[in-house]
């Protein structure tokens, strides 16, 4: 048959890519084959624009058990024969079209990646970006996404323990919805996603196949949006968390009790049967043959093209060993799951798709999983020079009498305000592992049966990446690591979700390349290899891209979960220190700050980070916690020192007397500048000398701020605000914005 150019474009393939397919095949593909190429050569599945850049990221280490991209998720050894399995992925475009189902199925998909490896999911996290809540549609998207995350995760019985929410104009038409899942497994029970043994059958388990989600990988995830994008609503998947719960328990029973019965498990996510069959065969160097006539359907008249590309949810492929076929089927059916034999593994290296007796497609697996790669030469965006060279010192400084009002105003902005409106809709205590929950620098979960704990966070400041992609990428990693260190954990591994616009535009490619370069540098210095992740490109609407948004999911390890550290001030009379950059802040520390955005309507400057100092600050903080010196630790980031102190006061229900502190230089920079590598810590008065000695011995600046106590935040004659006022602004800010106030 002759393929017309319209179909090629609908599959998000270029004409050059189509010609390459014909050249490699030695013939024209049929419609089913072209659909399979379109899915697996999409950016979402094939990473053709990003893979060359991702190779910059460090991805190995003594704790790392998997090869990045080699399995459904990354596995990290935490000792005692136990590993953490983790991954983060995006569901941006589906959520922009149908926020509830888009977010819900994003959670469902990332959870399947974890239990497909034989790991029990113990936590989910999220990272969300929306346009300003002053616009009704953004409030609709925000509420729908939060509802979808909670609705699906709560039904599964998996706690949502941490996350972040940010707001900026470029996300108005294209919100970002990144979901992370973390699981635990015994290392000797890990399951691969490999179709390892020719001759063994292929089982399709779970929900029937429908037309929902067709083209999700290439239509939704590999194209930009415009006014007609609402017509794509049928391509958004619809989830059933109760079916997923059955799938999860059945797969975990196989992995935990009968790992010798199976060769592998693979979930059906993006590109459905196409990616699940081809990728699982490709990992083992094998082929696979399936008959779509054997695939149970919930809609009549579905053709092979639709069956192969459907992204209907709650489906898994299971590859049982020949001698245990009956055992595996019986176990799955006992969980009231539909189980169908749809094919078998072959040794030929080809994927063959039959429709009864008719051959619908036959392609080399290797060709499908090796799309072309594009290494471009990025061009620095024209706007950057002007923004980076903006003379922030020319702005009027903050008056002493206005500092308190400025702090209350910042605390009430949706960007900085308390996000409890979000996380109160999530069950964060189910499974009883959660020791420190949402609203802190990082969540902490106990690892049952051991003394260990793990700390988890998601982080990434897109404004910094917009102003300086290299520095912004490094800061994203550093801040995520800083967050888990503040909880008392050593950062050990990263999963990332990289959200950018159209990579074919050279200024966007520059943002992506420099951001990844900065991330790679920070991951190397902080010894946090990247074990898994996702790239979401083409986040554009009508030619306008989202901010460059790398999201870092950071894993930290506590050898003793009882040695965790709190965020809020703990006791009256405790001494408060600032580790890291001193109060004599230059105007440039206001670069990319919330203060400039809120008070001056400016996004300007050039963020900076000294990774040598960052490493030393984190090491000092962690050692001080482990030696029992610190009673609290809190990352100083968005909003600067004043906001960090306010959050410590609010979390602890105590004030601070720092009246003796008198910063030099600009007051706005001292209070609200966002200099990196800073942590606010407190300790019992008798441990103050130990903390100072530890910091100075590591060449870390340390500033004694004052003492915990009273009911006010008093700082250097600049701030004198009651904790009650601070808490009211902080807690009421987001609900007021959602009410349109």
Q: Does the structure show a pLDDT above 60 at 254?
A: yes
Give pLDDT, residue 8.
83
- Look at phi and psi of residue 369 and say left if phi exceeds 0, alpha if psi is from -120 to 50, else beta: alpha
Q: Does the structure show a pLDDT above 70 at 352?
A: yes
Catalytic residue among 44, 93, 344, 428: 44
pLDDT (average), residues 26-46: 94
Min mean pLDDT across 1-15, 36-50, 323-337, 632-646 is at: 1-15
Looking at 293-397, which runs of residues are DSSP E strands?
Answer: 315-320, 339-346, 350-355, 358-364
Would you place residue 583 in the very low, low, confident or very high pLDDT band (cuts 50, 70, 90)? confident
How confident is the model over 74-127, as pLDDT tens digits? 999 999 999 999 999 999 999 999 999 999 999 999 999 999 999 999 999 999
What pTM value is reported for the model? 0.96
Give pLDDT, residue 660.
82
Across the chain, what does the average pLDDT equal? Answer: 94
The reply to whether 634 belongs to the active site is no
Give pLDDT, residue 440.
97
Would you place residue 1 in the very low, low, confident or very high pLDDT band (cuts 50, 70, 90)? very low
At a CB cut-off of 8 Å and minimum separation 6, what does 140 contact?
99
CA distance 679 to 351: 54
Asked if 636 contacts 576 with a C-beta cutoff of 8 angstroms, the reply is no
Give pLDDT, residue 364.
97
pLDDT (average), residues 701-718: 95
CA distance 678 to 412: 23
Looking at 295-395, which runs of residues are DSSP E strands?
Answer: 315-320, 339-346, 350-355, 358-364
Would you place residue 215 in the very low, low, confident or very high pLDDT band (cuts 50, 70, 90)? low
Tokens 């704790």 identify what position? 63
pLDDT (average), residues 14-40: 95
User: Residue 456: in which H helix or E strand, if any?
Assistant: strand 453-459
**Could you tell me the CA-to-CA distances from 222 to 94, 112, 131 in Å, in that order?**
12, 22, 22
- Among residues 40, 3, 32, which one has the least CA distance to residue 366? 40
Would you place residue 221 in the very low, low, confident or very high pLDDT band (cuts 50, 70, 90)? low
Domains of the chain, earliest start first: 1-41+191-371 (3.90.650.10), 404-417+565-741 (3.90.650.10)
Q: Does the structure show a pLDDT above 80 at 200?
A: yes
Rg (Cα) of the chain, in Å, rounded?
26
Give pLDDT, residue 425.
95
What number of other Cβ atoms are within 10 A of residue 55's Cβ?
Answer: 12
- Among residues 53, 90, 61, which one has the least CA distance to residue 77? 61
Tokens 């990247």 identify what position? 530
Would you place residue 504 in the very low, low, confident or very high pLDDT band (cuts 50, 70, 90)? very high
CA distance 696 to 702: 7
- Among residues 210, 202, 240, 245, which one has the least CA distance to residue 339? 202
How confident is the model over 354-401, as pLDDT tens digits? 999 999 999 999 999 999 999 999 999 999 999 999 999 999 999 989
Would you place residue 233 in the very low, low, confident or very high pLDDT band (cuts 50, 70, 90)? very low
The reply to whether 44 belongs to the active site is yes
Give pLDDT, residue 588.
85
CA distance 623 to 640: 24
- Among residues 637, 113, 103, 621, which one has the least CA distance to residue 416? 637
Give pLDDT, residue 71.
92
What number of other Cβ atoms are within 10 A of residue 203's Cβ?
Answer: 22
- DSSP category for residue 373: -
What number of other Cβ atoms are within 10 A of residue 273's Cβ?
Answer: 28
How confident is the model over 423-475, as pLDDT tens digits? 999 999 999 999 999 999 999 999 999 999 999 999 999 999 999 999 999 99
Give pLDDT, residue 224.
61
How confident is the model over 51-75, as pLDDT tens digits? 999 999 999 999 999 998 889 999 9
What percentage of the chain's residues is helix, strand, coil (to nearest 5)? 40, 25, 35
Would you place residue 630 in the very low, low, confident or very high pLDDT band (cuts 50, 70, 90)? very high
Asked if 497 contacts 89 with a C-beta cutoff of 8 angstroms, the reply is yes
In this structure, what are the phi and psi dihedrals at residue 203, rounded to the nearest 5 degrees?
Answer: -105, 130
- Reported as half-sphere exposure (CB side, CA atoms, 13 A), residue 655 has a value of 18
How confident is the model over 273-326, as pLDDT tens digits? 999 999 999 999 999 999 999 999 999 999 999 999 999 999 999 999 999 999
């Amino acid at each position: 048959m002759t393929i017309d150019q319209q179909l090629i474009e609908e599959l998000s393939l270029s004409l050059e890519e189509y010609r390459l397919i014909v050249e490699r095949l030695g013939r024209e593909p049929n419609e089913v084959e072209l659909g399979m190429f379109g899915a697996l050569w999409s950016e979402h599945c094939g990473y053709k624009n990003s893979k060359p850049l991702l190779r910059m990221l460090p991805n190995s280490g003594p704790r790392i058990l998997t090869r990045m991209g080699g399995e459904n998720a990354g596995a990290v050894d935490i000792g005692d024969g136990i590993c953490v399995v983790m991954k983060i992925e995006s569901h941006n475009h589906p959520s922009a079209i149908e926020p509830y189902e888009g977010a819900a199925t994003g959670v469902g998909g990332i959870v399947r990646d974890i239990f497909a490896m034989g790991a029990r999911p113990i936590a989910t996290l999220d990272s969300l970006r929306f346009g300003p809540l002053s616009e009704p549609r953004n409030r609709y998207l925000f509420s729908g996404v939060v509802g979808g995350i909670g609705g699906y995760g709560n039904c599964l019985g998996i706690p949502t323990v941490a996350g972040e929410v940010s707001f900026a104009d470029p996300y108005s038409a294209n919100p970002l919805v990144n979901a992370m899942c973390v699981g635990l497994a015994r290392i000797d029970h890990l399951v691969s996603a490999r179709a390892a043994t020719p001759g063994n059958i292929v089982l399709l388990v779970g929900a029937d196949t429908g037309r929902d989600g067709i083209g999700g990988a290439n239509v939704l995830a590999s194209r930009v949006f415009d006014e007609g994008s609402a017509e794509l609503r049928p391509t958004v998947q619809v989830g059933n968390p109760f079916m997923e719960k059955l799938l999860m328990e059945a797969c975990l029973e196989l992995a935990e009790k009968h790992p010798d019965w199976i060769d592998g498990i693979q979930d059906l996510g993006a590109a459905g049967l196409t990616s699940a069959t081809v990728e699982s065969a490709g990992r083992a160097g094998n082929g696979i043959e399936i008959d779509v006539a054997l695939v149970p359907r919930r809609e009549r008249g579905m053709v092979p093209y639709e069956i192969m590309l459907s992204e209907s949810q709650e489906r898994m492929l299971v590859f049982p060993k020949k001698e245990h076929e009956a055992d595996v089927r019986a176990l799955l059916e006992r969980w009231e799951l539909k189980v169908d034999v749809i094919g078998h593994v072959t040794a030929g290296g080809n994927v063959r798709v039959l429709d009864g007796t008719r051959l619908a497609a036959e392609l080399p697996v290797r060709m499908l999983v090796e799309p072309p790669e594009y290494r471009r030469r990025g061009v620095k965006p024209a706007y950057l020079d002007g923004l980076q060279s903006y003379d922030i010192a020319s702005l009027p400084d903050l008056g002493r009498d206005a500092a308190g009002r400025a702090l209350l105003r910042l605390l009430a902005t949706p960007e900085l305000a308390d996000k409890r409106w979000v996380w109160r809709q999530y069950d964060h205590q189910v499974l009883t592992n959660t020791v420190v929950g949402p609203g802190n620098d990082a969540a902490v979960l106990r690892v049952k049966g051991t003394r260990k704990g793990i700390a988890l966070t998601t982080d990434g400041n897109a404004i910094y990446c917009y102003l300086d992609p290299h520095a912004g990428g490094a800061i994203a990693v550093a801040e995520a690591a800083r967050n888990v260190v503040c909880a008392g954990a050593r950062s050990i591994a990263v999963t990332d979700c990289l959200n950018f616009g159209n990579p074919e535009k050279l200024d966007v490619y520059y943002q992506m390349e420099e951001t990844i370069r900065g991330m790679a540098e920070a991951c190397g210095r902080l010894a946090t290899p990247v074990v898994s992740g996702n790239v979401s490109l083409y986040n554009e609407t009508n030619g306008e891209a989202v901010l460059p948004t790398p999201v870092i999911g950071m894993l930290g390890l506590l050898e003793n979960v009882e040695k965790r550290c709190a965020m809020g001030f703990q006791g009256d009379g405790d001494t408060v220190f600032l580790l890291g950059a001193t109060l004599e802040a230059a105007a440039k520390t206001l670069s990319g700050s919330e203060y400039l955005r809120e008070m001056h309507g400016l996004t300007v400057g050039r963020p900076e980070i000294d990774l040598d100092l960052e490493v030393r600050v984190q090491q000092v903080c962690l050692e001080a916690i482990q030696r029992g010196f610190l009673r609290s630790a809190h990352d100083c980031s968005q909003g600067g020192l004043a906001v960090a102190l306010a959050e410590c006061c609010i979390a602890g229900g105590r004030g601070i007397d720092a009246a003796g502190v008198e910063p030099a230089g600009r007051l706005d920079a001292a209070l609200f500048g966002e200099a990196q590598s800073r942590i606010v810590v407190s300790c019992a008065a008798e441990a103050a000398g130990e903390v100072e000695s530890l910091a100075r011995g590591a060449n870390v600046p340390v500033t004694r701020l004052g003492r915990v106590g009273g009911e006010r935040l008093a700082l250097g004659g600049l701030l004198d605000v009651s904790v009650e006022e601070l808490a009211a602004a902080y807690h009421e800010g987001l609900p007021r914005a959602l009410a349109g106030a």
